[in-house]
């Protein structure tokens, strides 16, 4: 099925509204859509939603022979699947440009950055190693697939536990089932995060916008995909041209990405950790994806609407002047580093407790320091958890 | 040496010469026939003897800017010079920009690498190689690529396939007849995919599409064509009537401008120099045949075939050495190759090509 | 007597001239649900004046039934599922005249539902099933918004969101003749009426009525926002007296053009308002009109901060 | 083994900020509208440009501007050991990037409804393949007389511990990152940026700066070659 053509009206109105400092979904320019992570029944299965974009990642493992060049390292292979299910104009069974690009981004971010300790996947050097296969399936394409795929992949890999093995003296390898022995988690040193910027040009002005939706992607002049981890390492950079950019603009985007990456990485870590602890404590076996925690687009949109209304109420209560503070100056946002990386985060705390979300980005609750009566303590706990987790990480 | 370079002598020599290039290049001044200098320079590199009488400037590196006027002042306003997409140097109003340039912040910048010409205040840059741009009235040779509803699509080496409408050709049985549904149905009988046509550019549409026409008397008027399909024979007769014709494609910029595009060369061949760089060579059709239309299925004698072959190779060697292609230059090359007693097939050898080109240029100079 | 309105029925019926058959009986669907509606609270819009007055033949005015239905004379009967029997209807015994709209079929004296959704009934005994649907099936006489995609000889190809592109001849514009050609740019938005729409032929669009008048059809002016909604939402807001639209108009003055193919074009004086209205209308996708109506003002306020 | 010796030289004897030998050549073949060949050290790339010409598949036709397609492939033995597929996912992603670069550089509105095809063949690969491909394609486009905003040049850079190094070879890129920057030299704007392997945020600036400096040097070589070529063919135009 062919893609619906883009009319001049849609194109110009989107660009002009962005230049008026307004996105169609009323996000700020540097605001990422809401991130939700859901985990499946088994280890290593994760579905990530970024706004309405949905990606499912699944990790499986098997014992294989190692590569002769790297005899004591496990293998990791990544495959991206993009079917017409994600968007009707994608052709079935054919590799297309989007897949190639996603594959490249994931390869660089996850495989080439060596964020995964492959040596720990070795069973017997030169004999047998674990091969992890990461299958990423795009379920719904609503823009910014790169970020979503990266999110899902990282969460799935962090969530994954492989079965324990024993090597007998005679070299026989026994793989224990998950019931027999506690499975072993994969060890991921750094959490790679992928962030996408879209650029809109009008005349000489260039406006940078984060996390473009599908419509924005169709209209934008160019984009920059930055893969980085919270440690300040750039794992991949992709600015595939289509427009001319000043070096400074690009570099400032990359610098800005760093603060954002930290919060995203924390979200992922938190979500994975939550799910894993839940699995440990609750004696009932996890039921995997369930209707109640899979959020539909309708739920999401209703939630967004409610949020907006609530936000408005909150403002009136607080007597915050609307407009001036709220609306970012487009050009300012472009030029200088915005300090709003915190407050631009998605969930205002007042509503997040009511939302139909699963484990989402609640870690911001504390920082936002707005009264969130019920959830304050909870937020504290979580914050501490994050901290303790991080120190453990650092020690490792 | 990379594998691809083997077996292609010219590339080996030239790439080695460009690597050992002293950074000095020769520019023949205007005294030297302009036709010669490139080939001379190229040949001089190999032969090592400058055969021209002109003054050679060494290392006179020119700052190629647009409209600096420095060169222009020295050599006359129309003296072309080369621009290699340098930063702009002159400030012009938008309406003064010509082809191959664009305005940026009020200055004119070249967008192609080529020759700058200035006519009054209009500055244009013409690249050496380009697809055919099209000009109304040009005679072009084209090949039918598609037959559509009431038009043919013709490949004329331009950026879009040109369009030849059914109503724009001379239909069988009279020139002013309106085309009917039958004609439309039998379009493929008139011209089908792969046929060559010699047509003129009638119009250039807004989007750059060339609209062709074949109604002109230029193509040799033939009255009373009988029967269906005669149009095809009529149009192609000029070009393809005999089985010994051939098409040579060269860069459109190599074709010298000329009002007359069809030439009966004295060597017994008719050559159509299409403005789009397609050159068509056929045996000369006897006058009475051309006008009365007789399908000639006679076998073409070997001599004629050889002549055509030689002409073709001469065209190739001229193009290879970037010498403008005109009836004179083709005939000179042809005669030179006979003088130097080269076989037709030898003309494809690189050294022979060079010799002939050099000799032809010299004799043209005289 | 049963009039089955829908693709099939239209195929068999002799081709009526455009809008000439607007008065009863066959055009109930068309008048009720297909009319282009420009809701305009301001005075500036040219569309508004032409549309509301010229939608009907000038000498006749809107038919009686129509005036009633305009006010939203549609009542929801119940929820039906495919295969449900809606009613018994026998041509011999029943004297009542009913019209069947989309989603209903009549066989063996039974009227059955073919789609799941809300069975609705107009005051003119037109029954149809209002269902959530995103794919547009072209229907003759429906007004749609199309995007010009290609120039093809004397016609333009227009994407109207269905499987096949529609064509529009350059002559089917107001005051167009061979001499005064109407040039459309690629990517232009076109508001037109479907002249030919059936399953075997490619749809054909026109921008004039039988009196050769534009009636507000034609190329939409520059500016504004185009967005897609589900078809049931489009049907909801095509009614200018829809309370939801009126509620919104208390806050912002806007111009709205709704195509039956789910494309909606909104324009206001400020881009911000336009986007707010767009998001407000998109709310209908996710909630009932009543609920949306209740929220409309608050949401609009929030959006227009 | 260290990439930089204690004397401050690299394995091939270059200083960290030195380019490899570059030679290029315009117009190797007659048949395509434009062709070019470039050697950057041991990386050798051949490019051919067809077009602007009639669009091959009508569904892709864009009536406002031209379609730019790029196809990059490697010859089987370009890296010593035989590659199984000359075109794979990686080359496809690279082709996409090359096409993206020229989307920015070609004056697309000049050729509505047409198509420009760029074919790039990697003969030998030894680091900096993407940049060599972009440079070769740019030369081929100039040869074809396609209207461009400016030259397009591309260069790679990397960092070894704290020393930024320019124009990395295959061997050097194994140990560090490889940042490829393509730019329009006269405008100074970047048209493509690409980074493989990890690089620290703080070092990005100097690496990019170095690569852009390298671009300017390559630009000089390329424009020199174009001028030589034009002088060569002088007669053609002046005769008119």
Arithmetic mean of pLDDT, A333-353: 39
CATH number for the region D22-55+66-231 comes to 3.30.230.70
Question: How many angstroms separate the CA of residue D95 from the nearest CA in chain B?
Answer: 22
Instruction: Please report, for chain B, the start and end positions of each structural domain, with discontinuous segments joined by +.
Output: 63-128
Mark yes or no for CB contact C151/D63 under 8 Å. yes
**DSSP label at residue B208:** S
Highest mean pLDDT: which of A27-41, B15-29, B273-287?
Answer: A27-41
Arithmetic mean of pLDDT, C243-253: 87
For C99-120, what is each residue's pLDDT tens digit?
Answer: 888 788 888 888 888 888 888 8
Mark yes or no for CB contact C295/A305 under 8 Å. yes
Mark yes or no for CB contact C299/A305 under 8 Å. yes
Q: Which helix (H) or strand (E) holds B58?
A: strand B56-58
For B321-342, what is each residue's pLDDT tens digit?
Answer: 888 888 988 999 999 999 988 8
Look at A41-45, B59-63, B85-89, C195-199 and tell me which has the smallest mean pLDDT.
B59-63
Look at B122-136, C34-48, C65-79 and tell me which has the smallest mean pLDDT.
C34-48
The mean pLDDT of chain A is 79
Arithmetic mean of pLDDT, D121-128: 91
Could you tell me which chains touch chain B, where touching means 3 or more CB pairs under 8 A?
D
Mark yes or no for CB contact B113/D230 under 8 Å. yes
pLDDT confidence tier of residue D165, bands split at 50, 70 and 90: very high
CA distance A107 to A150: 10
B101's CB contacts (< 8 A; 6+ apart) are B66, B108, B109, B110, B111, B123, B124, B125
Q: Is the pLDDT of residue D102 over 60?
A: yes
Q: Is B323 on the interface with D (CB under 8 A)?
A: yes
For D134-143, what is each residue's pLDDT tens digit?
Answer: 999 999 999 9
Task: Give the residue on A whose Cα is nearest the Cα of D199.
Answer: A234
Arithmetic mean of pLDDT, D29-35: 88
- Mutation site for C-interface testing, chosen from D62, D63, D113 by largest number of C Cβ within 10 Å: D63
CATH number for the region C143-219 comes to 2.40.50.140
Question: How many angstroms separate the CA of residue C151 from the nearest CA in chain D?
Answer: 9
The whole model's pTM is what? 0.79
For residues A196 and C28, the model is more confident at A196
Instruction: Please report, for chain A, the start and end positions of each structural domain, with discontinuous segments joined by +.
Output: 8-297, 298-395
* Chain C CB contacts of D60 below 8 Å: none
pLDDT confidence tier of residue A64, bands split at 50, 70 and 90: very high
Question: How many angstroms separate the CA of residue D71 from the nearest CA in chain C?
Answer: 28
Total Cβ atoms within 10 A of residue B141: 25
* Chain A CB contacts of D199 below 8 Å: 233-234
Q: Which helix (H) or strand (E) holds B47?
A: helix B34-47
Number of B/D CB contacts below 8 angstroms equals 151
pLDDT confidence tier of residue D211, bands split at 50, 70 and 90: very high
Share of chain C above pLDDT 70, in %: 76
CATH of region A8-297, choose from 3.40.50.150, 3.40.630.10, 3.60.110.10, 3.30.230.70: 3.30.230.70
* Chain A CB contacts of C190 below 8 Å: none
Q: Is the pLDDT of residue C43 over 80?
A: no
Mark yes or no for CB contact D201/A100 under 8 Å. no
Q: Is the pLDDT of residue A221 over 80?
A: yes
Instruction: Please report, for chain C, the start and end positions of each structural domain, with discontinuous segments joined by +.
Output: 143-219, 225-303
CA nearest to A347, candidates A319, A315, A306, A313: A306
Nearest to D226 among B37, B84, B320 (CB): B84
pLDDT confidence of residue B45 = 32
Q: What is the DSSP string of C123-152?
A: TTSEEEEE----S----TT-EEEEEEEEEE
pLDDT confidence tier of residue A25, bands split at 50, 70 and 90: confident
For B38-49, what is each residue's pLDDT tens digit?
Answer: 333 333 333 222
Nearest to A247 among D96, D195, D208 (CB): D208
Query: φ and ψ at A165, to 5 degrees?
Result: -130, 150
Count, residues in chain B = 366
CATH number for the region C225-303 comes to 3.30.1370.10
Fold of B63-128: OB fold (Dihydrolipoamide Acetyltransferase, E2P) (2.40.50)
**Torsion over CA: B192, B197, B200, B201 (sign):** positive
pLDDT confidence tier of residue A361, bands split at 50, 70 and 90: very low
Q: Is B161 on the interface with D (CB under 8 A)?
A: yes
Count, residues in chain A = 396
Could you tell me which chains touch chain D, where touching means 3 or more CB pairs under 8 A?
A, B, C
Share of chain C above pLDDT 90, in %: 12
Arithmetic mean of pLDDT, A81-102: 86
For residues D60 and A20, the model is more confident at A20
B152's CB contacts (< 8 A; 6+ apart) are B144, B146, B163, B164, B166, B187, B191
Task: Give the residue on B whose Cα is nearest the Cα of D55.
Answer: B160
In a 10 Å sphere around its CB, with 0-12 CB exposed, 13-18 middle and 19+ buried, how is residue B55 labelled?
Answer: exposed
ipTM higher than threshold 0.85: no
Q: Is D64 on the interface with B (CB under 8 A)?
A: no
Mark yes or no for CB contact D190/A244 under 8 Å. yes
pLDDT confidence of residue A352 = 36
For A304-325, what is each residue's pLDDT tens digit?
Answer: 888 888 887 888 777 654 444 4
Highest mean pLDDT: which of A297-311, B113-127, C58-72?
Answer: A297-311
- Mutation site for D-interface testing, chosen from A228, A240, A260, A261 by largest number of D Cβ within 10 Å: A240
Question: How many angstroms separate the CA of residue A26 from the nearest CA in chain C?
Answer: 7
For residues A53 and A283, the model is more confident at A53
Total Cβ atoms within 10 A of residue C89: 16
For residues C230 and C122, the model is more confident at C230
pLDDT confidence tier of residue B236, bands split at 50, 70 and 90: very low
**Chain B 100-119, CB below 8 Å of chain D: which residues?**
100, 102, 109, 111-115
Q: Is the pLDDT of residue C35 over 50?
A: no
Question: How many angstroms separate the CA of residue A52 from the nearest CA in chain C?
Answer: 14
Q: Is the pLDDT of residue A382 over 70?
A: no
Arithmetic mean of pLDDT, C17-43: 28
Query: φ and ψ at B256, to 5 degrees?
Result: -70, 145
pLDDT confidence tier of residue B83, bands split at 50, 70 and 90: low
Look at strands A35-39 and A45-50 and give their pairing: antiparallel
C212's CB contacts (< 8 A; 6+ apart) are C174, C175
């Amino acid at each position: 099925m062919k893609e619906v053509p883009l009319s001049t009206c849609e194109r110009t109105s989107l660009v002009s509204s962005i230049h008026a400092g307004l996105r169609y979904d009323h996000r700020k320019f540097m605001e990422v859509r809401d991130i939700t992570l859901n985990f499946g029944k088994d280890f290593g299965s994760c579905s990530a939603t970024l706004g309405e974009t949905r990606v499912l990642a699944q990790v499986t493992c098997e014992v294989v022979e190692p590569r002769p060049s790297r005899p004591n390292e496990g293998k990791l292979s990544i495959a991206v699947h993009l079917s017409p299910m994600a968007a009707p104009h994608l052709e079935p069974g054919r590799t297309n440009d989007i897949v190639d690009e996603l594959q490249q981004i994931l390869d660089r971010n996850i495989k080439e950055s060596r964020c995964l300790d492959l040596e720990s996947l070795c069973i017997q050097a030169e004999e047998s190693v674990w091969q992890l296969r990461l299958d990423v399936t795009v379920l719904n394409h609503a823009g910014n697939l790169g970020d979503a795929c990266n999110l899902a992949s990282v969460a799935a890999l962090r969530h994954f536990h492989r079965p324990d093995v024993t090597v007998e003296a005679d070299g026989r390898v026994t793989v224990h089932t998950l019931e027999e022995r506690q499975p072993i988690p994969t060890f991921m040193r750094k959490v790679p995060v992928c962030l996408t910027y879209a650029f809109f040009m009008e005349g000489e002005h260039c406006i940078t916008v984060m996390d473009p939706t599908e419509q924005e992607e169709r209209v934008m002049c160019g984009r920059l995909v930055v893969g980085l981890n919270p440690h300040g390492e750039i794992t991949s950079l992709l600015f595939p041209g289509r427009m001319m950019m000043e070096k400074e603009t690009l570099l400032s985007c990359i610098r800005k990405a760093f603060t954002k990456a930290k919060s995203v990485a924390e979200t992922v870590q938190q979500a994975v950790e939550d799910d894993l602890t839940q699995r440990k404590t609750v004696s009932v076996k996890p039921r995997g994806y369930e209707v109640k925690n899979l959020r539909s687009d309708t739920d999401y949109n209703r939630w967004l609407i409610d949020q907006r209304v609530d936000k408005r109420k909150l403002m009136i209560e607080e007597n915050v002047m609307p407009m001036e503070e709220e609306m970012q100056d487009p050009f300012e946002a472009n030029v200088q580093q915005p300090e709003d990386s915190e407050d631009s985060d998605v969930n205002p705390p007042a509503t997040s407790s009511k939302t139909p979300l699963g484990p989402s980005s609640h870690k911001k609750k504390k920082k936002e320091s707005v009264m969130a009566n019920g959830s304050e303590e909870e937020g504290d706990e979580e914050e501490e958890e994050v901290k303790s987790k991080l120190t453990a990480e650092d020690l490792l | 040496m990379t594998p691809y370079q083997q077996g292609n002598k010219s590339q080996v020599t030239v790439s080695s010469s460009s690597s050992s290039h002293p950074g000095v290049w020769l520019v023949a001044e205007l005294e030297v026939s302009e036709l010669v200098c490139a080939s001379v320079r190229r040949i001089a590199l190999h032969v090592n003897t400058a055969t021209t009488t002109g003054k050679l400037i060494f290392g006179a590196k020119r700052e190629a800017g647009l409209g600096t006027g420095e060169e222009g002042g020295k050599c006359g306003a129309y003296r072309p010079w080369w621009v290699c997409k340098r930063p702009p140097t002159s400030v012009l109003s938008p309406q003064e920009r010509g082809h191959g340039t664009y305005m940026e912040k009020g200055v004119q910048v070249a967008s192609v690498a080529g020759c700058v010409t200035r006519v009054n205040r209009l500055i244009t840059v013409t690249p050496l190689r380009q697809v055919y741009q099209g000009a109304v009235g040009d005679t072009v040779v084209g090949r039918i690529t598609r037959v559509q509803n009431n038009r043919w699509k013709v490949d004329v080496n331009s950026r879009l396939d040109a369009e030849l409408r059914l109503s724009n050709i001379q239909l069988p049985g009279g020139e002013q007849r309106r085309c009917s549904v039958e004609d439309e149905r039998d379009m493929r009988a008139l011209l089908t995919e792969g046929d060559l046509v010699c047509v003129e550019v009638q119009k250039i549409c807004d989007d750059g599409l060339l609209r062709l026409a074949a109604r002109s008397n230029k193509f040799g008027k033939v009255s009373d064509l009988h029967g269906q399909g005669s149009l095809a024979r009529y149009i192609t007769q000029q070009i393809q009537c005999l089985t010994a014709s051939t098409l040579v494609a060269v860069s459109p910029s190599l074709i010298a401008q000329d009002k007359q595009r069809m030439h009966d060369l004295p060597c017994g061949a008719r050559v159509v120099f299409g403005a789009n760089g397609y050159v068509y060579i056929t045996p000369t059709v006897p006058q009475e045949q051309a006008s009365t239309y007789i399908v000639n299925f006679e076998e073409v004698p070997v001599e004629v075939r050889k002549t055509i072959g030689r002409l073709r190779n001469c065209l190739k060697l001229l193009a290879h050495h970037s010498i403008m292609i005109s009836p004179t230059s083709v005939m000179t090359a042809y005669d030179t190759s006979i003088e130097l007693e080269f076989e037709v097939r030898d003309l494809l050898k690189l050294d022979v090509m060079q010799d002939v080109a050099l000799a032809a240029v010299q004799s043209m100079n005289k | 007597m049963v009039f089955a309105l829908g693709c099939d029925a239209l195929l068999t019926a002799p081709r009526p001239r455009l809008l000439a058959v607007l008065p009863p009986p066959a055009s109930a669907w068309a008048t009720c649900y297909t009319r282009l509606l420009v809701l305009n609270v301001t005075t500036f819009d040219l569309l508004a004046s032409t549309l509301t007055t010229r939608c009907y033949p000038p000498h006749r005015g809107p038919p009686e039934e129509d005036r009633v239905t305009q006010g939203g004379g549609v009542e929801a009967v119940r929820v039906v599922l495919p295969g449900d029997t809606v009613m018994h209807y026998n041509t011999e015994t029943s004297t009542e005249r009913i019209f069947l709209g989309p989603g209903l079929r009549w066989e063996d004296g039974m009227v059955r539902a073919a789609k799941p959704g809300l069975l609705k009934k107009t005051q003119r005994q037109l029954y149809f099933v209002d269902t959530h649907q995103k794919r547009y099936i072209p229907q003759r006489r429906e007004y749609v918004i199309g995007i010009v995609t290609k120039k093809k000889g004397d016609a333009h190809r227009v994407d109207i969101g269905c499987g096949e592109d529609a064509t529009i001849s350059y002559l089917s514009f107001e005051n167009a003749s061979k001499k005064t050609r109407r040039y459309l740019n690629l990517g232009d938005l076109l508001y037109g009426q479907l002249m030919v729409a059936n399953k075997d032929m490619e749809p054909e669009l026109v921008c004039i009525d039988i009196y050769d008048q534009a009636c507000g059809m034609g190329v939409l002016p520059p500016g504004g926002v185009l967005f897609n909604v589900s078809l049931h939402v489009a049907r909801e807001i095509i009614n200018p007296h829809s309370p939801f639209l009126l509620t919104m108009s208390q806050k912002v003055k806007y111009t709205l053009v709704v195509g039956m193919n789910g494309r909606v074009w909104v324009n206001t004086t400020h881009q911000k308002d336009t986007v707010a209205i767009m998001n407000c209308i998109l709310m209908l996708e996710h909630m009932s009109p009543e609920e949306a109506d209740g929220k409309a003002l608050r949401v609009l306020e929030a959006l227009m901060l | 083994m260290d990439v930089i010796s204690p004397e401050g030289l690299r394995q091939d004897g270059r200083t960290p900020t030195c380019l490899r030998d570059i030679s290029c050549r315009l117009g190797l073949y007659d048949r395509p509208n434009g062709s070019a060949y470039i050697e950057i050290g041991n990386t050798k790339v051949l490019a051919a440009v067809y077009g602007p010409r009639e669009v091959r598949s009508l569904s892709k036709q864009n009536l406002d501007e031209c379609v730019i397609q790029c196809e990059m492939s490697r010859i089987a033995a370009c890296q010593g050991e035989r590659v199984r597929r000359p075109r794979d996912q990686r080359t496809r992603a690279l082709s996409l990037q090359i096409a993206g670069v020229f989307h920015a550089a070609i004056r697309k509105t000049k050729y509505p409804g047409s198509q420009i095809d760029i074919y790039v063949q990697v003969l030998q690969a030894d680091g900096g393949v993407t940049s060599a491909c972009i440079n070769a394609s740019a030369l081929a486009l100039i040869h074809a007389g396609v209207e461009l905003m400016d030259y397009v040049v591309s260069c790679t850079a990397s960092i070894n511990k704290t020393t930024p190094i320019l124009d990395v070879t295959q061997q050097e890129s194994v140990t560090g990152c490889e940042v490829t920057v393509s730019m329009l030299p006269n405008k100074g704007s970047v048209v493509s940026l690409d980074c493989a392997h990890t690089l620290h945020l703080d070092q990005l600036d100097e690496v990019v700066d170095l690569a852009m400096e390298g671009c300017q040097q390559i630009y000089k070589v390329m424009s020199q070659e174009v001028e030589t070529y034009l002088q060569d063919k002088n007669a053609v135009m002046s005769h008119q």
